[in-house]
Structure 1
Amino acid sequence: MRAPSGANETRAVRLREDGPEARRTRGGRGGATARFVLGRVVGLVATLFAASLVVFFSRFVVPGDPARFLLRGRSPSPEAIAEVTKQYGLDKSPIEQYLSWIGGVVRGDFGRSLQYRDDVSNVLLARLPVTLELVALAAVIIVLLGLAAGIFASLRRGRAADRVILMTSTALGAVPAFVIAILLIAVFAVQLGWFPSFGSGDEGWDRFVHLILPAFALGLAFVALIARVTRSSMNEQFVREHVEVATSRGLTRSSVVLRHVLRNAIGPILLVSGVLVAGLLVSSAIVEQTFGLAGMGSLLVQSVDRLDFPVVQAIVLVVVVAFVTINTIVDLIQPLIDPRIAAGSETR
């Protein structure tokens, strides 16, 4: 008795799904993803190692004797120079000094601050919360306003609203952060009196109010860039064939935009957003100085001015680690959004 043709077709489909060719395909995709992740992790470690070398050995580029910088005296005695040289390990070779320093960094020991006479880790931990809160608030402003402006401009492409957003974003992107900070202080702090213009405030709501103007000053220029990238990426997707097919099938405009346009356009937006958010740590120094915030940016400026080498090295290394780590995380997230990225990395 012969089996029905439908049962034979179902059995054939199952054989194709579970057959050796299908298993090889799945195994190939899994191997490509694993190699993609491994490559990014190896790149992260190599970049951090190279950055640690640059951060440490840049100290030797500064002209003069480091021992005399440490003593800060006009005419230190030879005995004082010899004591400081031994105390800070300056009598060792540069390689030995680097190994000693990087070993301490791995254990969380960045040395002692020369101006605060305290462990560098304690000095950083006292300033880190303000900078992290400022960067987090600025990142939220950048992503929300940038995405909203870019999506609105793309949906109104070719119209007056699109041109206005495009011109405004171009103008904002050309204005330095300190100029935006001065304008915000003049309008919202001096004229209107809505927000404070100086200091970090106390923890909680007071801290949030003190950080609103600095966060906008830090993020507005980046909002313009995210808006332009979002607009460009969505406009590129609107002319793709799969969007035209979805529209011809009678799907609602909101469904087409969310499922077929924005979803496929999110890759470049995510990449640029990750780079910008990581760059906020570098850009925060000027804004923190302008608003008198007790963060890591202002600490870096003060430490450079006072030649506090251990603090400068620690802050630069922390910023580099954060920047590289965030970019690596973005690289690892992208294949989850578009698996072709991991597969494409195998064929390049």
Structure 2
Amino acid sequence: MTFLRFALRRLAEMAATLLAASFLIFGAMYLAPGNPASFLLSGRSASPEAFRAINAQYHLNDPFWQQYLRWLGQVLRGDFGRSIEYRTPVSTLLASRLPSTLLLVAMALALVVVIGLALGWTGAVRGGATDSTILVATTFAVGTPSFVAAVLLQGLFSVKLGWFPSSGTGSGPASMLWHLTLPALALAHYLIGMLARVTRSAMLEVMGHEHVTVARSRGVPERAVIRRHVFRNTLGTVLTMGGLIVSTLLICTVLVETAFSVNGVGQLLDLSTTTKDFPVVQAISLIIVAIFMIVNFLVDLLLPLVDPRVTLGTRGGAV
């Protein structure tokens, strides 16, 4: 399959998936109990005229399909509507909170890639007690939810040792990095354990292949064997986890940002869900779906470069 045909097909699939996701996201909010108009009034009593005015302003009384088509048309123009809770455009809210979330996700992703690959490599190569220790540590990491890790990290490094702030985002690049260190660790720990175990298993499997045995029999140094013939052939397996890693990071930011009071998109999603701020929840959910699909698209493009046995559109399959 040529690159152009593959790209066009995937883009068409992504457009159809986004359309279906937009319908589900828009409709799901209306299944939740409560009325957004009541949140606008903050519990205050109001006359029927006031309720009618609010419903008219936000088109809450229009038929579902009219509301959906109106919202979809706005989204296609880059307009996510106006927040019911904050009374400001959703794009403005996202722009003010997005830098914190992007920095947090980037820090967590860097920790996942560096530490996860290093632990997987070390466990596969060293074996013995080192491998057993890494397996125990990664099992503990995989079995510990993000919010539990957040509480443990706060209690140890913020409350007891006082090394890091327990909440907030900070101001300025250095301060933001300092404030987001613990949240990034809480966000990354699960994926570090998972990536380490996947890398270890993939490397151990490749070590038993014939080409590795032949390279060793020819006197190729062990480090070169591991780097060129073992680790390189596991990158395809590791790369296929890219979509899962990014989607998990984006979803878990809701828990981690709430636990550490990080002024980011994840905390905004949590607050907006509580107050039934439809436009904000719908915008963030749709953006997460779009990012997930873009990452998977990029993974499919990179796989043939990492593993020549894989062709475009065949993830993990040798041809």
Same fold (TM over 0.5): yes
1:37-186 equivalences under 5 Å are 37-64=7-34, 67-68=37-38, 70-72=40-42, 76-157=46-127, 159-186=128-155
Quick one: percent identity of the two aligned structures?
46
Which residue identity lines up with residue 209 of structure 2 in the other structure? R
- Residues 116, 266 of structure 1: alpha-carbon distance in 2 compared, 3 angstrom cutoff: same
Give the residue type in structure 2 aligned to 1:77.
S
C-alpha distance in 1, partners of 2:227/2:2? 29
Q: Distance in 2 between matches of 1:38 and 1:336?
A: 19
Residue 221 of structure 1 and its aligned partner are, at CA, apart by 1.3
Q: Are residues 347 and 97 of structure 1, via their aligned partners in 2, closer, same or farther at CA, if it must alter by over 3 Å? A: farther
Residue in 1 that maps onto 2:276: 307
Partner of 1:8: none
Counterpart residue type for residue 94 of structure 2: L
- Give the alignment's TM-score, normalised by structure 1: 0.85
Quote the offset at 1:227 in angstroms. Answer: 0.2
- What is the TM-score when the length of structure 2 is the normalising length? 0.92
Residue of structure 1 equivalent to 2:161:
192
Larger proportion of helix: 1
Aligned counterpart in structure 2 of residue 283 of structure 1, from 238, 247, 252: 252
Q: Distance in 2 between matches of 1:327 and 1:67?
A: 38
Deviations 1:207-244 (A, max 9, x none): 10111111011111110000000001111111111111
Residue 90 (structure 1) shift: 3.0
Q: Distance in 2 between matches of 1:145 and 1:299?
A: 29
State how far apart, in whole Å, the 1-side matches of 2:20 and 2:215 are: 48
| Cα gap change, 1:343 to 1:143, in 2 (>3 Å) | closer
Is the Cα–Cα contact under 8 Å of residues 40 and 332 in structure 1 kept in the other structure? no
Q: State the one-letter code of the partner of 2:92.
A: N
Closer, same or farther in 2 for the Cα pair 1:241/1:300, shift >3 Å?
same
> What secondary structure sits across from 2:251 in the alignment?
helix
8 Å contact kept, 1:40–1:331: no
- Classify the secondary structure of the residue corresponding to 1:342: coil
Verify: 1:236 aligned to 2:205, yes or no.
yes
For the pair shown, which has the larger CA radius of gyration, 1 or 2? 1
Return closer, same or farther for 1:170/1:36 CA change in 2, 3 Å cut-off. Answer: same
C-alpha distance in 2 between matches for 1:39 and 1:257:
37
Q: Is the Cα–Cα contact under 8 Å of residues 36 and 84 in structure 2 kept in the other structure?
A: no
Shift of 1:86: 2.3
Q: Structure 1 residue 67: deviation in Å?
A: 4.6
- Equivalence map 1:189-268=2 (5 Å): 189-268=158-237
Q: C-alpha distance in 2, partners of 1:75/1:126?
A: 32
- Determine the C-alpha separation between the residues in 2 that align with 1:347 and 1:284: 35
**1: distance between equivalents of 2:167 and 2:84?**
27
Q: Where does the alignment leave 5 or more consecutive residues of structure 2 unmatched? A: none
Query: Matches of 1:95 and 1:245 in 2, distance apart?
Result: 64
Which among 259, 264, 267 is matched to residue 295 of structure 1?
A: 264
Q: Once superposed, what is the RMSD of the aligned Cα atoms?
A: 2.1
CA distance in 2, matches of 1:80, 1:344: 55
For residues 103-150 of structure 1, what are the alpha-carbon distances to aligned partners after superposition, in whole Å with 9 as ceiling and x for unaligned? 111222111112211111101111111111000000000100000000
Distance in 1 separating the partners of 2:125 and 2:313:
31
Whether the 8 Å contact between 2:121 and 2:199 is mirrored in structure 1 is: yes
Deviation at 1:262, TM superposition (A): 0.9
What is the distance in 1 between the residues matched to 2:143 and 2:46?
A: 48
Change (3 A) 1:119 1:150: same
Paired residues, number: 317
Deviates more, 1:60-69 or 1:266-275: 60-69
Following the alignment from structure 1 to structure 2, what is the Cα–Cα distance between the partners of residues 115 and 59? 15
Q: Which residue of 1 aligns with 2:301?
A: 332
C-alpha distance in 2 between matches for 1:127 and 1:68: 26
Q: What stretches of structure 1 of length at least 5 have no aligned partner?
A: 1-30
Contact 1:285/1:301, CA 8 A, preserved across alignment: yes
Distance 2:173 2:144 in 1: 31
Is the Cα–Cα contact under 8 Å of residues 141 and 223 in structure 1 kept in the other structure? yes
Task: Please give the alpha-carbon distance, in whole angstroms, between the structure 2 residues aligned to 1:281 and 1:57.
Answer: 22
Distance 1:337 1:150 in 2: 18
Distance, in Å, in 2 between the alignment partners of 1:68 and 1:183 is: 37
Letter in 2 for 1:111: G
Query: Which stretch has the larger CA shift, 330-339 or 286-295?
Result: 330-339
Letter in 1 for 2:215: A
